[in-house]
Structure 1
Amino acid sequence: MKIVGYETFSVAPRWQFLRIDTDEGVSGWGEPIVEGRAEAVQGAVAAMMEYLVGTDPLRIEEHWQTLAKGGFYRGGPVLSSALAGIDQALWDIKGRYHDVPVHELLGGPVRDRARIYTWAHGADNAALVDDAQAKVANGFTAIKMNVSEALPPVPGAADLRAMVSRVAALRSALGDGVDIALDFHGRLSTAATRQLLPLLEPLLPFFVEEPVLPEFSRDLRRVVESTGIPIATGERLFSRWDFRDVLPTGIAIAQPDISHAGGISEVRRIAAMAEAYDVAVAPHCPLGPITLAASLQLDFATPNFLIQEQSLGIGYGGAGQLLDYLVDPQVFAFVDGHIERPTGPGLGIDVDENAVRAAAAGPHRWRSPVFRHTDGSFAEW
């Protein structure tokens, strides 16, 4: 079997899909994307596919090593995300060729259901609580929320109390039976994070995500040692080498993104590294159905998996939602905050190619928002 061609599709709301075709009629799908930089990743995919066309798609590890290291310049979000989408598509082809789910090729399942979470949003505490209660009524047992919008480098007392108030309102409304995770999104400085975390401890957050920017990962040990709240990070780390220096800091949860950190091949290695440090894995996934499908295949074969993010209810939207590009949306049926183990071959989904092509006829031009402080200077989104 040989790879004979490929196509990329830029689709709403901010995703990009890849289909790789073979001479035996078996095709695989991946999702190579950096949000806001889809065109750059598309170019990197095209360069990598020059090598892949004409090769055997089943030799996944050989291709991964060559594509990751053979260009001399390595890593970073664009190259790693292009490789990630290609890697997903190759695993999809291999699973379909052997007529088994990818998790069977990774050693077989270690669980029957995977826990998932959704997001809660609201401009004020009342709206936040209403949204979260609606999500819980739909069966979710874990909610994640942004702790704040743009923040000054050193938040004042009013900012700190407002953030604590948001979490307190949610905990009061939902009780202790729902887990509440907090996303700092790298918006606070290390010092501000250390000041805020002890104030949040009585509210028992499930975890705090990205408490500092990835360039300050060296400071994570100071953050971890300042609190008993589990610390999570990793959505902007792109390889096992990026995680190598983070895992010993004492973080509780690693959050690699299977569409950014080199795909299934690399994230399974990151998960194995994390297990050696008693660190759980909760793959980052604010993206489309192919990323979620690939993440789930890994989740079901990963002993230290904790919980899975997914984009239904995430808050960005309009046209193009998680289920719109699937032939059978029931494959992502969430029951009691969990999803059953997929049994279909490859990634376990069938992409609705007609819907994808229709959406790609009007490709998106999504860009990350730019936040500003009250003085007009740049603020972290």
Structure 2
Amino acid sequence: MKIVGYETFLVAPRWQFLRIDTDEGISGWGEPIVEGRAEAVQGAVAACMEYLVGADPLRIEEHWQVLAKGGFYRGGAVLSSALAGIDQALWDIKGRHHGVPVHELLGGPVRERVRMYTWAHGVDNAALVDDAQAKVASGFTAVKINVSEALPPIPGAADLRRMASRVEALRSASGDGVDIALDFHGRLSTAATRQLLPLLEPLLPLFVEEPVTPEYSRDLRRITESTSIPIATGERLFSRWDFRDVLTTGIAVAQPDISHAGGVSEVRRIAAMAEAYDVNVAPHCPLGPITLAASLQIDFATPNFLIQEQSLGIEYGGGNELLDYLVDPGVFTFTDGHVERPTGPGLGIEVNEEVVREAAANPHRWRSPILRHEDGSFAEW
């Protein structure tokens, strides 16, 4: 079997899909994307595919090594994300070739269903509580929230109490039967974590995600040793080498993104590394259906898996676009906040190519929002 061609598709709301074709009629799908930089990843995919066209798609590890290291300049968001989408598509082809789900090729399932979480939103505490309760009523047992928009490096008393009250309102309304995860998008400084996390400890969050940006990963040990709250990070780390030093800092949850961190092949290795440090894995996934399908294949084969993110309800797409691109949306049916083990070959989904092509006829140009502090200076998104 040989690779004979490929296509990329920029589709709303902010995703890019990749289809790789073979001479035996088997095609595989991947999702290579950097949100806000889709065109750059598209170019990187084209450069990588110059090497792959004509090659045997089943030699996944050989191709991963060459594409990751053969260009001399390595890593980074764009190149790692291009490789990630290609790797997903190759695993999809391999699973379809053998007639089994990818997780069977990774050693077989270690669980029969995967716990999911959803997002809750609200401009004020009351609206946040209402939205969270609606999500819980639909069956979810865990929600994640953004605790604050832009923050100064040293938040004042009003900011600190506002953030604590937001979480307190949600905990009070939801009780202890609902897990609450808190995402900070790197908006805190290391000093600010020492102010805020003690206020949140009595509210028992499931984890606090990305309290500081990756540039300050060296400071994570100071943060983990200063709080009882589990710390999660990793959505902006792109390889096992990026995770190597972070795993030793005392974090509780690693969050590699299968569309950024080298695909199925590399996230599988990151998860195995994390297990050696007693770190759980909760793959980052605010993306499309292919990323979610690939993440689930990892989840079902990973002993130290914790919980899976997914983009339905994340409120950036204006609808259920994730399901619109599938022939059978039922593969992502959530029951009691869980999804059952997929049994279809490859990534376990069938992409609706007609819908994808229609969407790609009007390619998106999504860009990350730019936030500003009150004084007009740049603020972390």
Q: TM-score range by the shorter chain?
A: over 0.9
Shift of 1:319: 5.7
Shift of 1:317: 1.3
Paired residues in the alignment total 381
The 1:20/1:218 distance shift into structure 2, 3 A limit, reads same
- Equivalent position SS for 2:248: helix
Q: Distance in 2 between matches of 1:326 and 1:289?
A: 8
- Equivalent position SS for 2:143: strand
Residue pair 1:12, 1:319 contacting (<8 A) in 2 also: no
Q: Distance in 1 between matches of 2:223 and 2:320?
A: 38
Q: Distance in 2 between matches of 1:141 and 1:318?
A: 24
Residue pair 1:10, 1:363 contacting (<8 A) in 2 also: yes
Residue pair 1:284, 1:309 contacting (<8 A) in 2 also: yes
User: For 1:66-87, what per-residue CA distance to the aligned partner results, in whole angstroms no more than 9, with x for missing partners?
Assistant: 0000000000000000000000
Q: Distance in 2 between matches of 1:164 and 1:320?
A: 31
Name the structure 2 match of 1:215.
215
Q: Distance in 1 between matches of 2:223 and 2:27?
A: 45
Name the structure 2 match of 1:43.
43
Q: Distance in 2 between matches of 1:155 and 1:367?
A: 27
Shift of 1:153: 1.1
Q: Which amino acid aligns with 2:237?
A: L
- Equivalent position SS for 1:29: strand
- Equivalent position SS for 1:248: coil
Q: Which 4+ residue blocks in structure 1 deviate beyond 4 angstroms? A: none
Asked if 1:23 is matched to 2:17, the reply is no
Name the structure 1 match of 2:227.
227
Name the structure 2 match of 1:34.
34
Q: Distance in 2 between matches of 1:35 and 1:44?
A: 14
- Equivalent position SS for 2:153: coil
Q: Which amino acid aligns with 1:67?
A: L
- Equivalent position SS for 2:36: coil
Shift of 1:194: 1.6
Structure 2, unmatched stretches of 5+, are none
Name the structure 1 match of 2:76.
76
RMSD: 0.6
Name the structure 1 match of 2:314.
314
Q: Distance in 2 between matches of 1:13 and 1:226?
A: 39
Q: Which amino acid aligns with 1:137?
A: A
Residue pair 2:150, 2:379 contacting (<8 A) in 1 also: yes
After superposition, residues 158-237 of structure 1 pair within 5 angstroms as 158-237=158-237
Asked if 1:152 is matched to 2:152, the reply is yes
Asked if 1:91 is matched to 2:91, the reply is yes
Q: Distance in 2 between matches of 1:352 and 1:137?
A: 30
Q: Distance in 1 between matches of 2:220 and 2:308?
A: 23
Q: Distance in 2 between matches of 1:305 and 1:130?
A: 29
Q: Distance in 2 between matches of 1:193 and 1:375?
A: 22
Q: Percent identity?
A: 87
Name the structure 1 match of 2:338.
338
Q: Which amino acid aligns with 1:242?
A: D
Residue pair 2:233, 2:254 contacting (<8 A) in 1 also: yes
Name the structure 2 match of 1:300.
300
Q: Which amino acid aligns with 1:375?
A: D
User: For 1:309-328, what per-residue CA distance to the aligned partner results, in whole angstroms no more than 9, with x for missing partners?
Assistant: 00000111126611000000
User: For 1:169-216, what per-residue CA distance to the aligned partner results, in whole angstroms no more than 9, with x for missing partners?
Assistant: 000000000000000110010100121001100000000000110000
Asked if 1:375 is matched to 2:375, the reply is yes
Which is further off, 312-321 or 50-59?
Answer: 312-321
Name the structure 1 match of 2:282.
282
Name the structure 2 match of 1:107.
107
Asked if 1:272 is matched to 2:272, the reply is yes
- Equivalent position SS for 2:148: coil
Residue pair 2:312, 2:320 contacting (<8 A) in 1 also: no
Q: Distance in 2 between matches of 1:50 and 1:320?
A: 34
- Equivalent position SS for 1:323: helix
